[in-house]
Structure 1
Amino acid sequence: MNLFKSHFWYEKSQRNGILFLLLLILFVQLVSYQIDRYPGEIPPSDSPEIIAFQKKIDSVKAMESALRKPKIFPFNPNYISDAKAAQLGISVAEIDRLFTFRRSGKFVNSKKEFQQVTKVSDSLLETISIYFKFPDWVVNRNRQDQKKRRGVVEHNRATKHSIELTTTDLNAATVLDFQFVSGVSASLAERIVRYRSKLEGFSFESQLDEVYKIDAKLTQKILKTFQIIHKPNIQKVNVNSLNFKELLRIPYVDYELCKKILNYRDEVAELQSIVELKNIKDFPLEKYDRIALYLTAE
């Protein structure tokens, strides 16, 4: 006991020195803590140093995100799975159209056919089509077809330059005459001629707009070259003597309108004037001038 007592027994001056030393150590610790807590003035968020540092952080994050993103390998779209479709952003309805098409034993052989079958948007097609991989024989066949189409286009251009108009009469122009107008293909020219035959000739230039799959701007271009010079001589028929099938063959008269005309004729016994057609309920007044070209009331 005396041994330990000798080590802990100090004089007053010694005790004061120890107390001072303890206070000094405590002061140094507090100063060190404050320095660590506030290392210096923090630069503002829009300073060049902070902006450069933030760019480095964003770059690292982007690289990390790219590494985490599943890698997409080239694939044949004919054998795409539901999971792969969802990964690419293809909707359930769009992929179901492809599955239905495939169940019929058919295959899509180009990205254009893929879009025609699935109805995906242009933007999505451009994004996912870079991963499409078709068999080599399909790729080679598509190249050959493209060369053939290019040759046909060049041939049509050369042919069009060599065309000489035989007439500017809309009712006398031939299939080749119509192809003189830039943008009019052979198939469109044939449709114009067929529709003109159905009408027995154009009586109004606006009837050209009724041709199947004709563009309004293209119609204007055609009418700059062709006009109605000789109107058709249409033999009108008596509406009071026509049966259902005969009346249905009249241009602009569809099934429903045919029934309405015949029902009205039964109500009034017979039409005294073709203008009476306008009295029929829901009669398409915008078609009256055209229907009146073929009918009379006697």
Structure 2
Amino acid sequence: MKSIKSHFEIHQRFRNGILLLIILIFGLVLGLCFFPDSASSSNGFQELSEFQTEIDSLKQQAIDQKKSYTLKPFNPNFITDYKGYVLGLSTEELDRLYAYRKENKWINSVSDFKKVTGVSDSLLAKISPLFKFPDWIQNSKKTKSYKKPKYPVKSFEEKGDLNNITSIRFQEEIGVPDFIAERIIKHRNDLQGFIDDIQLKDVKGLYDHQRRKILSLYTVKTNKEIKKVNINQASVKELMEVPYFDFETALDIKDFIEENNGISDFEELGKIEGFSLEKIDRIALYLTLK
């Protein structure tokens, strides 16, 4: 028994060391229990901060893009869903606009937009300065501050033939400069003769009061017989025979008509990018819808 006792007997100094080791281990275990992520939490906080910074940056970019987008002028006839969202229009207001346009009707003024959409006055005041209508609409609304001169009123029989007047007569009788008179003659020759008085509008540099004076004395009396082109069935080559269409325009019109299964109103051509409706009244002289 003595040998067994001596085998398990531990010196006082070793017992103290073992006790200290147990205390250290116990303290380490407690530390890990109470502070398991002390080291990683700082790293996690840093990553979270960087992620939040990135989100804030993306939000700011979206805000900047929205601001820059709303600064661009636009035609209110072609507002998309996204543009309507950016402008602050409700879905009901957009639906009313789309229904109006579906009837082949056009918004030609701020008051038209207000009447059709029912948008609030405050929002209208904010977005209406960005409305951009075609030049021909803007020009038609301009008023003259001066009094229009009065010209003699003549009957159709009393007027001369606009297709026979010479450059000299334009200069002496109407008072237009020689280069404007030559432009009128050249335009008449390019058309192979005027078929309607409104074609004088196409002469660059001819003022409205000069045109009115010409038409008070002259009108189209002898014009060539023309075969109108059915725009819904015409080929690109046939469309190019219209004086106002070049190859690119004829191609765009042909593609647009095929995509939309034809048109029922010439003003629908205004949906074609880059197509101006300013001359639609003269273009229609050479076209038919059926």
Q: TM-score, normalised to structure 2's length?
A: 0.36
TM-score, structure 1 normalization? 0.35
Structure number with larger C-alpha Rg: 1
Which gives a bigger RCO, structure 1 or 2 (Cα 8 Å, sep 6+)? 2
